[in-house]
Structure formats: structure tokens, C-alpha cells
Amino acid sequence: MEYNYYMEKRKRKKLTHNSRRITPPGFIIWGAGALLAAVLVFNLYSWTQKEEPKRNLEYEMVSQEIGKYEEMVNKYPGYRDAYIKLAILNWKIYKNDEAKRYLEMALAIDPNNEVATSLARSWGME
């Protein structure tokens, strides 16, 4: 009986020692977490790489539209809607001073225009 008691005690001691190691379920959880982190990092990197050309393309498209509307304004200086559109397009590409200037021109032509006055309010011009 003493022999069995000694063996049981030894098994318990080994079990507590081995419990510090990663068990198969723990390894699976750790591996899944590491894999998920790797996938997230890769996707974030891929997304930022794809987003930059998209921004440049959008900037180019908006710049081309701005050019068309500037030609229109040069041809028809009293065309209020073109000034409003120029204001919105410039705001879209973060040229806020230009946008406010065009909006002021639109408001000078028609101070009661609802679109222009609501833009002016939202941009803090009034």
C-alpha cells in the first residue's frame, strides 16, 4: 500500500508540473489567436495600400470636375449653382478656403438660396 501511495503522490506532482505546459486545447486557442492577429494585420496593410490610389483617383476626378465648373463660371459668371457645386467640390478635397470663397460668391448672387445658406451655416460662415 505504501508503494501505491508513493506512486500516486509522484503522479500528482508530475501532473502539476506538466500543467504549466500548453495543453492541446490551449495550443489550439493560442494558435487560432495568433492566426487571427496575422490575418487582421495583413488585411489592414492591404486595405491601406488599396486605399491610397483610390484617394488619388478621387482627387483627380474631383479636380477635373472643378476645372469644368470653373470654365462654366468663366463663361456664365452669374450661374449660382455652378458656384455652389464648386464650393462643395473644393470642400470635398479639403480646400476649405476656396470652398468658402465660392460659397460667398453664390450667396452674393442669391442670398436666399436654401442650399447655399444651409452650407454656410454648417461651415460656420454665418
**Position 75 in a domain:** yes
CATH number where 84 lies: 1.25.40.10
Which residues are within 8 A (CB) of 64 and not within 5 positions of it... i.e. 6 or more apart?
Answer: none
Q: Tell me how many domains the chain contains.
A: 1
Question: What pLDDT sits at residue 51?
Answer: 56
Task: Measure the CA–CA gap between 65 and 72, rounded to whole angstroms.
Answer: 11
What pLDDT digit, counting tens, does each position of 51-102 carry?
555 577 888 899 999 999 999 999 999 999 999 999 999 998 888 999 999 9
Question: Integer distance in angstroms from the first to the last C-alpha of the chain?
Answer: 95
**Position 11 in a domain:** no
Percentage, residues of the chain above pLDDT 90: 44
Task: Measure the CA–CA gap between 81 and 91, rounded to whole angstroms.
Answer: 15
Task: Measure the CA–CA gap between 1 and 86, rounded to whole angstroms.
Answer: 95
Query: What average pLDDT does the structure give for the chain?
Result: 79
> 62 lies in which domain range?
55-122
